């Protein structure tokens, strides 16, 4: 059973999405809340059993879904976070993926597609709605391909692989037995090699090129 948390400040959307989750026999709705504070309170509750998937609105009355998603993944490392929003701007998509979130869906998606996305995200697959796919492809096309990744050395690729899995800098550093400052310096150099301006664009480019997929699946086992 896939445990699902829903966060959306619009009552109708919250009720509709909750009902959709409950209509699927393979899903269990563990909570439906209207803000970041309520979601974080749930995560900080002693003994709270973590969800497998969180569906988060992008704009919340007390925060934004991207920051909330990153905070929840810090508390629940195995959590998969999918942004569920009406916003299609490229910057939000790239920022979501660059922050280590696991999907981006639009609220005009068909119900069956939403349910399929939840199941796919739970298996560790990066989930992108049609608008999000276009943004990632645009980010990938903005850098020279395939020469962009070819410009990275083996250590760069190791770092980008882990970042594409959604690991924060501190965890990447521990995994590779390096100092966090070294990771930050390597990422800065990597941006120049990739021809992009931000860490988020580099991660989106890495994911668009196939990095991060295998281990995101392995993390569920």
pLDDT tens, position by position, 59-76: 999 999 999 999 999 999
Place 198 in a pLDDT band, splitting at 50, 70 and 90: confident
How far apart are alpha carbons 156 and 148 in whole angstroms?
12
φ, ψ at 169 (rounded to 5°): -55, -45
Half-sphere exposure of 67 (CA within 13 A, CB side): 9
DSSP state of 197: S
CATH of domain 143-218: 1.10.10.10
Please name which of 77, 86, 125 lies closest in space to residue 102, comparing C-alpha atoms.
125
Domain map (residue ranges) of the chain: 2-138, 143-218
Query: 208 vs 191, which has greater pLDDT?
Result: 191
* Predicted TM-score of the model (pTM): 0.69
Give me 16's structure tokens.
């509709």
Contact indicator for 80, 52 with CB cutoff of 8 Å: yes
What span, in angstroms and rounded, lies between the C-alpha atoms of 82 and 84? 6
DSSP code at position 126: -
Q: The domain 2-138: what is its CATH number? A: 3.40.50.2300
Q: Which phi and psi (to 5°) does residue 57 adopt?
A: -65, 150
Q: Is the pLDDT of residue 7 over 50?
A: yes
What lies within 8 Å, CB to CB, of 64 at 6+ separation is 36, 58
């Amino acid at each position: 059973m896939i445990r699902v948390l829903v966060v959306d400040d619009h009552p109708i959307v919250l009720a509709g999405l909750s009902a959709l989750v409950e209509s699927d026999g393979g899903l269990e709705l563990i909570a439906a809340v209207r803000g970041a504070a309520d979601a974080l309170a749930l995560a900080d509750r002693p003994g709270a059993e973590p969800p497998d998937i969180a569906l988060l609105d992008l704009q919340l009355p007390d925060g934004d879904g991207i920051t909330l998603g990153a905070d929840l993944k810090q508390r629940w490392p195995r959590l998969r976070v999918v942004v569920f929003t009406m916003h299609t701007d490229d910057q939000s998509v790239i920022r979501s993926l660059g922050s280590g979130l696991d999907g981006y869906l639009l609220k005009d998606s068909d119900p069956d597609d939403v349910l399929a996305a939840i199941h796919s995200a739970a298996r560790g697959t990066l989930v992108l709605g049609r608008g999000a796919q276009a943004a990632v492809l645009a980010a990938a096309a903005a850098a020279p391909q395939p020469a962009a990744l070819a410009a990275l050395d083996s250590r760069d690729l190791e770092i980008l692989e882990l970042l594409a899995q959604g690991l924060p800098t501190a965890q990447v550093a521990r995994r590779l037995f390096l100092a966090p400052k070294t990771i930050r310096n390597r990422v800065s150099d990597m941006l120049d090699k990739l021809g992009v301006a931000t860490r988020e664009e580099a991660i989106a480019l890495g994911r668009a090129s196939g990095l991060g997929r295998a281990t995101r699946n392995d993390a569920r086992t």
